[in-house]
Structure 1
């Protein structure tokens, strides 16, 4: 259920401040993501609740490692994602 053309998939819903903060952080760090509105995509809601076991948005899934996912505003995970993104870009440039 994730997109492989971006770094992460962010499962979000309207009026969710933590969803907005997560996407703003990714934008500020250049981390690419695909937003998926769980109120418009029933399969996405089923995926994050039934398969991943989350009941809180946002849910963030690493598209290169589907075992790396979390829910809510997790600054520690966001910083790690930004560091991984920066390191990957450095490797591609060298």
Structure 2
């Protein structure tokens, strides 16, 4: 299974730089798209309802802004999906 993470960013964006740094620290691979150079990408993310950069899109979810909590959750989700850690049941018996 391939997990695709796409980051829609723009130059000079502090939150974008922090997001990319956090993704890299967690070893999460991503595709970077500069929305100032790609009007189709800009239209796409605004169509999703996002109005600030960065926009991070993962399978089944997207968010905007620097969200270390969601990046941490993504790392955990990827680890579970790849069998690196066991899933924790919601209601242990």
Common fold: TM-score over 0.5: yes
The answer to whether the 8 A contact 2:22-2:68 is kept is: no
Q: Is residue 38 of structure 1 aligned with residue 32 of structure 2?
A: no
Q: Which 5+ residue runs of structure 2 have no aligned equivalent?
A: 85-93
Q: Is residue 83 of structure 1 aligned with residue 76 of structure 2?
A: yes
DSSP 3-state at the match of 1:19:
helix
Shift of 1:6: 5.3
Q: Which 5+ residue runs of structure 1 have no aligned equivalent?
A: none
Q: Distance in 1 between matches of 2:80 and 2:28?
A: 12
Q: Distance in 2 between matches of 1:42 and 1:6?
A: 25
Query: More helix per residue: 1 or 2?
Result: 1
How many residue pairs end up in the alignment? 83
DSSP 3-state at the match of 1:90:
coil
Question: Looking at CA atoms only, which structure, 1 or 2, has the larger radius of gyration?
Answer: 2
Shift of 1:76: 1.4
Q: Distance in 2 between matches of 1:7 and 1:22?
A: 16
TM-score with structure 2 setting the length: 0.81
The answer to whether the 8 A contact 1:6-1:34 is kept is: no
